[in-house]
């Protein structure tokens, strides 16, 4: 079952409303495409119960004006592709920061 998460966002942050009614303020690390679908990587600004510190969130992403819709990544193969792409972006960013 596809699960959508409503979120409010600014240019740099997004507020997630989790299933347990917990509100989580996150930094937007990246929004990136894979084929026709966009994905978002988020880092909670404070520790989140049930998650390890430093753990990031990955979701399917779409936006309509000031409202973002995040959907769960449904399959292991999709998750692996999204995680690989995000880690590639992190590696590129580290390389670019080293050369500055």
Domains identified in the chain, total number: 1
Residue range(s) defining the domain that contains residue 19: 4-98
pTM to 2 decimal places: 0.80
Angle subtended at Cα 88 by Cα 82 and Cα 91, rounded to the nearest 5 degrees: 145
Q: For residue 93, give the DSSP letter.
A: H
- Per-residue pLDDT 10s for the chain (100 aa) are 344 555 555 568 888 887 778 889 999 999 999 999 999 999 999 988 888 888 999 999 998 877 788 999 999 999 999 999 999 988 877 655 655 5
């Amino acid at each position: 079952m596809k699960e959508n998460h409503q979120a409010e966002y600014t240019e740099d942050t997004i507020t997630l409303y989790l299933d347990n009614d917990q509100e989580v303020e996150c930094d937007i690390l990246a929004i990136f495409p894979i084929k026709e679908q966009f994905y978002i990587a988020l880092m909670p600004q404070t520790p989140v119960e049930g998650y390890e510190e430093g753990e990031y969130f990955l979701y399917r992403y779409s936006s309509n004006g000031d409202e973002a819709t995040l959907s769960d990544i449904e399959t292991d193969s999709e998750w692996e592709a999204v995680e690989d792409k995000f880690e590639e972006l992190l590696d590129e960013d580290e390389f670019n920061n080293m050369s500055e």
